[in-house]
Structure 1
Amino acid sequence: MGRKKVTITIYGAEQICASCVGAPGSKDTYEWLQAAIARKYNADVVEYEYIDINKPPEAGKHKQFAKRVLEEDMFFPIIFVNDEMVAEGIPRLKTIYQALDQHGVKLLA
């Protein structure tokens, strides 16, 4: 029986957000988030993707959202669980964990 995948998308840039001085970079957050989720959840149903807002793929939704981040001066990294934005700027694990729970991702035994 196939289980539904959950996709975590992190939008960020090499340069740290001007309003997030002292916070880890977007790539560091991407790696940290994978490790934190793998310690608590059955991570085989979770997929990750990192989108550089300065070099987004040509795919429609990623390119459009990256443009929006830049135009609206949004704080990054921005984290989505499936199509729901769960963090902007410095992420909180509790909020991300709640989104994973809502999507039925199982805790480790």
Structure 2
Amino acid sequence: MEEHNLKITVYGAEEKCASCIHLPSAKETMEWLEAAVLRKFPELDFQFEYIDIDVPGEKEVHIKYAELIKADEFFYPLVVLGNEVIAEGNPNLKEVFKKIEHASNE
């Protein structure tokens, strides 16, 4: 299999969303997701990134997603693989794995 560099960005905030009270924080979700993905796909090269929507930095793409989340277009944590939103809110690992398999075969 050809080696790919797959970038996964997780957007979230320190404060949990109202419907996420009993779920892990966005940062904890990213750490859990990273561990699960690396276990499932040890042959692939991943880059993980966490972006706080309250301080998204200067990259236009991060600012865009932060603004969309704040405008209630997406729930956080929002998981983006490359340029594709693959999960929001409480991510479903099965769905995330399917999207990664698809992206790694392109």
Aligned runs of 1:1-109 on 2, under 5 Å? 3-42=3-42, 44-72=44-72, 74-104=74-104
Matching residue's letter, 1:77: P
- CA distance, structure 1, for counterparts of residue 43 and residue 18 of structure 2: 32
Q: Secondary structure at the match of 2:104?
A: coil
Residues 63 and 43 of structure 1: CA distance in aligned 2, closer, same or farther (over 3 Å): farther
**TM-fit CA distance, 1:43:** 5.7
Moved more, 42-51 or 32-41: 42-51
> How does the TM-score come out when normalised to structure 2?
0.89
TM-score with structure 1 setting the length: 0.87
The whole-number CA distance in structure 1 between the counterparts of 2:73 and 2:95 is: 22
SS in 2 for 1:79: strand
Compute the RMSD of aligned alpha carbons: 1.6
Q: Distance in 2 between matches of 1:22 and 1:87?
A: 18
Matched to 2:28, the amino acid is D
Which digits, 9 at most, give the CA deviation of each residue in 1:2-53, with x for residues without a partner?
8331110100001111111201100100110111111111265111111100
Q: Runs of 4 or more off by more than 2 Å in structure 1?
A: none
Q: 1:71 Cα deviation (Å)?
A: 1.6
Q: Which runs of 5+ in 2 are unaligned?
A: none
Contact 2:4 2:44 in 1 (8 A): no
Give the percent of matched residue pairs that are identical in Structure 1 and Structure 2. 37
Any unmatched runs of 5+ in structure 1?
Answer: none
Q: 1:22 to 1:43 in 2, by over 3 A?
A: farther
Aligned length: 104
CA-CA distance at 1:72 after TM superposition: 2.2
